[in-house]
C-alpha cells in the first residue's frame, strides 16, 4: 500500500486504465492507494469531477483489481510482463495492451479508437455488463459491419470466457474454504464445551470421593461404621437424619442360644390320704381333698 503513491496513481496507473484525462484532478487531490481504497461513485463525481458513469465503472474495476492483488505493484508488473506478447491473463491487461490485441485480430483500422477510452482488462473481465457490443462501440465499429462485429464477438469470447470461468472457480473454492473454517470453528467450540463438561464432571467425582474418604475417617475415629454412600441406582438419596438416629442407638445385645430342656409332665393332683391313729388297734382313714 505504501508504494501506491499519488505520483504512481497519476503518472502511470490512470494511463494504464485509459483515463489519463483525469490525472490533473487526481494530482490536485493527492489521491494515493489509501484514498483509492475508499473511493465511491459519489466521491468520483463530487470530489474528482468524474461524471461519466462508464469512466466511473472503469476506475472502480481498476481499484478492485488492486485490492485483489493487495496493492502489490510487483505482482501486477510481473503478470503484465508475462502476457505482454501472449494472449493470456487478460485481467491485468492495460489499455495499450488491448490496442495491441485489436491489431492482432485484424482490426487495426479501429484499434486507435481504444486509446483513452477507459477500456482495460479489469473492466472487460470483471464487469458483467461489458459485452462484445460494448467493445465494438469503443472501437467505433459501425452497426452495419455485421461480419466485423461477429468476428470481434468470437475473438473477445475466446479471450475473456476462460478468465471469467477461472475467477468463478476461484470464488467457489474460496467459498468452500470459508464454510469449512466456520464449521471447524463451530466444531472446536463444541469440543471445548464438551471438554469443559467432562472436566467439571471429573472435579465433582473427585470431590465426592474426597468427602466419602473424610466420612470414613471420621467414622473410624468415632468408632462408627462408615456412612452409607449415596445410592446411584436411581432409587433416591438416603436420609441423613435417619442414618444419624440409627448410629446413635446402641447395638442390640446378642441373643444367647439356650438348649431347650424337656418339661416334666404334670399329673393331675391325687387326693392325699392321712392317717389318724386313735389307738393302737383302730386306724381311721381320712380323705383330704386339696382346695
pLDDT in tens, 226-284: 444 444 444 444 444 444 444 445 555 555 545 555 555 555 555 555 555 544 455 45
Please check whether residue 72 is in contact with residue 138, taking contact to mean a CB–CB distance below 8 angstroms: no
pLDDT in tens, 57-89: 999 999 999 999 999 999 999 999 999 999 999
- Residue 182: its pLDDT value, please? 72
C-alpha cell of residue 100: 495491441
- Residue 141: its pLDDT value, please? 97
- Residue 222: its pLDDT value, please? 56
Kindly state the percentage of the chain with pLDDT values over 70: 63
- Residue 237: its pLDDT value, please? 43
Average pLDDT, the chain: 80
Kindly state the percentage of the chain with pLDDT values over 90: 57
Averaging pLDDT over each range in 170-174, 178-182, 264-268, 286-290, which range is the top one?
170-174
Taking alpha carbons only, the member of 38, 19, 217, 221 closest to residue 122 is 19
Taking alpha carbons only, the member of 40, 33, 61 closest to residue 167 is 61
- The reported pTM is 0.63
Please check whether residue 4 is in contact with residue 73, taking contact to mean a CB–CB distance below 8 angstroms: yes
Structure confidence at residue 186 as a pLDDT band (50, 70, 90): low
Taking alpha carbons only, the member of 152, 143, 95, 145 closest to residue 121 is 95
Structure confidence at residue 213 as a pLDDT band (50, 70, 90): low
3-state secondary structure of 91: helix
More confident call, 17 vs 193: 17
Rounded mean pLDDT, 112-127? 97
Rounded mean pLDDT, 180-197? 63
- Residue 247: its pLDDT value, please? 45
Rounded to whole angstroms, the Cα distance separating 51 from 100 reads 28
CATH of domain 6-170: 1.10.150.50
Please check whether residue 117 is in contact with residue 138, taking contact to mean a CB–CB distance below 8 angstroms: yes
Using the predicted structure, report yes or no on whether residue 177 has a pLDDT greater than 90.
Answer: no
pLDDT in tens, 90-100: 999 999 999 99
C-alpha cell of residue 17: 486504465
- Residue 226: its pLDDT value, please? 45
Amino acid at each position: 500500500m505504501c508504494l501506491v503513491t499519488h505520483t504512481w496513481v497519476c503518472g502511470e496507473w490512470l494511463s494504464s486504465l485509459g483515463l489519463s484525462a483525469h490525472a490533473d484532478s487526481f494530482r490536485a487531490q493527492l489521491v494515493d492507494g489509501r484514498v483509492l481504497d475508499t473511493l465511491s461513485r459519489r466521491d468520483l463525481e463530487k470530489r474528482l469531477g468524474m461524471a461519466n458513469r462508464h469512466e466511473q465503472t472503469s476506475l472502480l474495476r481498476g481499484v478492485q483489481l488492486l485490492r485483489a492483488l493487495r496493492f502489490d505493484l510487483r505482482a501486477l508488473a510481473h503478470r503484465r510482463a508475462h502476457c505482454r506478447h501472449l494472449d493470456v491473463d487478460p485481467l491485468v491487461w492495460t489499455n495499450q495492451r488491448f490496442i495491441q490485441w485489436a491489431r492482432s485480430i485484424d482490426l487495426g483500422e479501429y484499434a486507435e479508437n481504444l486509446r483513452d477510452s477507459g477500456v482495460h482488462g479489469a473492466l472487460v473481465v470483471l464487469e458483467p455488463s461489458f459485452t462484445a457490443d460494448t467493445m465494438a462501440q469503443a472501437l467505433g465499429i459501425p452497426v452495419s459491419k455485421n461480419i466485423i462485429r461477429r468476428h470481434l464477438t468470437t475473438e473477445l469470447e475466446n479471450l475473456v470466457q476462460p478468465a471469467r470461468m477461472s475467477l468463478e472457480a476461484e470464488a467457489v473454492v474460496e467459498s468452500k474454504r470459508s464454510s469449512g473454517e466456520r464449521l471447524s470453528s463451530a466444531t472446536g467450540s463444541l469440543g471445548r464445551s464438551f471438554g469443559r463438561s467432562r472436566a467439571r464432571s471429573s472435579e465433582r467425582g473427585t470431590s465426592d470421593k474426597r468427602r466419602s474418604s473424610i466420612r470414613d475417617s471420621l467414622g473410624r475415629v468415632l468408632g462408627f461404621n462408615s456412612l452409607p454412600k449415596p445410592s446411584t441406582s436411581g432409587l433416591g438419596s438416603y436420609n441423613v437424619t435417619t442414618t444419624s438416629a440409627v448410629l446413635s442407638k446402641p447395638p442390640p445385645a446378642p441373643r444367647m442360644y439356650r438348649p431347650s430342656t424337656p418339661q416334666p409332665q404334670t399329673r393331675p393332683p391325687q387326693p392325699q390320704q392321712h392317717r389318724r391313729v386313735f389307738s393302737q388297734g383302730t386306724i381311721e382313714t381320712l380323705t383330704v381333698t386339696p382346695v
